[in-house]
Amino acid sequence: MRRCAVFVLVVVLLLATAAVPAAAEKVEVPEERIFLLCSIIDPAEDPEGWVATGCASDEFPADTPFTIFHGVFLEHGQGYNQKGQAPAVGHFDFKLFVDGEEVEWVTRWRGWTSTLNVFVFDGFADGETVEFTGEWYGWCTFEDLGVQEGCEKPSDTWMFHTESRTMTFVD
């Protein structure tokens, strides 16, 4: 029985090792970006100009690859322990919808106080109008506000922000 368990463990490890190179492929992220939070971003507080540029227009070049990346990031500050973990902070998520249909992220960075999802698009045809909607999620005890209304327990997840942006793709 013990040899069988060891054999199964070795097979699982070999399969996992074989799958790593495919999962570790580097994702090509286009330089062009579309941002969803334009209504709440102050361009004056954007010293490098990359967010303000992404919010400058509701038109985007047709047939041009682009990326959308958003998520949740909380800076370390008062109330954090020595490991940099905040009390009542845990699971965060960001979901993206294109014309009401959820799309999958191509890569994700996740930490104790952050989640950043990256979505890559090949582009849309000239004349297409597309609505992008983002939904930001956190634990029901997000920001130590106590258990949010509609949550049954503190570890539940709730949507704390949503934002939509309609883009027209033009030549």
List, for residues 24-64, the tens digit of each pLDDT value. 467 788 989 999 988 887 767 777 766 777 788 899 999 99
What is the total count of domains within the chain? 1
Whether residue 84 is contained in a domain is answered as yes
Whether residue 71 is contained in a domain is answered as yes
Whether residue 1 is contained in a domain is answered as no
Whether residue 37 is contained in a domain is answered as yes
What's the pLDDT at 110? 78
Whether residue 162 is contained in a domain is answered as yes
- State the residue range of the domain holding 65: 29-170
Whether residue 69 is contained in a domain is answered as yes
Pairing, β 114-121 against β 66-73: antiparallel
Rounded to an integer, the average pLDDT of 134-158 is: 72
Decide: residue 139, CB within 10 A, 0-12 exposed, 13-18 middle, 19+ buried.
buried
